């Protein structure tokens, strides 16, 4: 691996961490998961955020290594701290799904990372935040609608459906059945079954 990374580095004159990450991606595509994990880990341990994210994925899905959600969260956190948007989303999900209910700090940290990922254009984070703000203990409908609209504009049909619900029921916006129907139709056209049912109803 060292020799292959060195040759790749010479060809492209790139940092060794980037070379290991590229080798990891190519190995993953070829189905050599253990090799991919090893390459990602070598680059991650050198502080390369894209590789840290990839190591997190390996641990989360058990690709090339044992499945370990704590280790996945550890690597996602390091990548997220280096402003890797998808790692910010994944780390926030880890915090929200696996935190003790009493840990308010974890909740605040998760929301901060989700908002950073959402503003960086990560559709999954936008959709998650939209629902999170709509259904929270203290719902913030206008803020939730803002994120649902962002996700809908990025092509998320479920978020488009939720925007329709907001307009139909007046959640965070003035009730407007015509606007609700417009969103339902767009979501239904993208294959969303809930929206298809609403259009028929």
48-87 pLDDT, tens per residue?
999 999 999 999 999 999 999 999 999 999 999 999 999 9
Token readout for 164 is 């329709």
Q: What separation, in Å, do the N-terminal and C-terminal C-alpha atoms of the chain show?
A: 60
Q: How confident is the model at residue 47 (pLDDT cuts 50, 70, 90)?
A: very high
Q: Examine the domain organization and report whether 4 and 17 are in the same domain.
A: yes
Task: Judge if 158 and 97 occupy the same domain.
Answer: no
**Pair 112, 150 in one domain:** no
pLDDT > 60? residue 101: no
Task: Report the alpha-carbon distance of residue 111 to residue 33 in Å, rounded.
Answer: 32
Domain co-membership, 29 together with 127? no
Q: Determine contact, residues 174/156, Cβ cutoff 8 Å.
A: no
Q: Judge if 114 and 134 occupy the same domain.
A: no
For the chain, strand residue ranges (E) read: none
Task: Note whether 9 and 101 are same-domain residues.
Answer: yes
Same domain, 125 and 105: no
Could you tell me if 5 and 74 lie in one domain?
A: yes
CB 17 within 8 A of CB 47: yes
What CATH number is associated with residue 73?
Answer: 1.25.40.10
Same domain, 196 and 146: yes
Say whether both 90 and 136 belong to one domain: no
CA distance 48 to 41: 10
Q: Residue written as tokens 């940290």?
A: 109
User: Are 125 and 112 members of one domain?
Assistant: no
Q: Residue 135: which domain range? A: 121-200
- Compute the Cα dihedral for 73, 102, 106, 92 and give only its sign: positive
Tokens standing for residue 97: 């799904």
Q: Is 127:148 a contact under the CB 8 Å cutoff?
A: yes
Spell out the alpha helix ranges (H) of the chain. 2-12, 16-29, 33-44, 49-61, 69-81, 85-98, 104-119, 123-135, 141-153, 157-169, 177-189, 193-200
Q: What is the pLDDT of residue 5?
A: 75
Residue of 170, 118, 177 whose CA lies nearest to 148: 118
Domain boundary among 74, 102, 120: 120
| Domain count for the chain | 2
Return the higher-pLDDT residue of 133 and 98.
Answer: 133
CA-to-CA separations, 46 to 2, 9, 29, 86, in angstroms, rounded: 14, 15, 23, 20
Q: Domain end: 89, 120, 151, which one?
A: 120
């Amino acid at each position: 691996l060292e020799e292959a990374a060195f040759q790749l580095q010479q060809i492209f004159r790139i940092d060794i961490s980037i070379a290991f990450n590229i080798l990891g991606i190519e190995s993953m595509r070829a189905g050599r998961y253990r090799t991919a994990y090893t390459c990602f880990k070598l680059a991650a341990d050198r502080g390369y955020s894209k590789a840290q994210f990839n190591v997190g994925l390996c641990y989360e899905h058990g690709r090339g290594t044992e499945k370990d959600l704590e280790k996945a969260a550890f690597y996602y956190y390091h990548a997220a701290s280096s402003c890797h948007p998808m790692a910010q989303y994944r780390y926030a999900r880890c915090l929200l799904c696996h935190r003790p209910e009493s840990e308010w700090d974890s909740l605040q940290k998760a929301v901060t990372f989700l908002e950073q990922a959402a503003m960086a254009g990560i559709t999954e984070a936008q959709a998650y935040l939209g629902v999170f703000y709509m259904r929270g203990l203290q719902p913030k409908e206008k803020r939730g609608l803002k994120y649902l609209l962002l996700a809908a504009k990025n092509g998320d049909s479920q978020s488009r459906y939720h925007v329709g619900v907001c307009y139909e029921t007046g959640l965070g916006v003035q009730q407007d059945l015509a606007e609700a129907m417009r969103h339902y139709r767009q979501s239904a056209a993208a294959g969303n079954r809930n929206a298809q049912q609403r259009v028929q109803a």
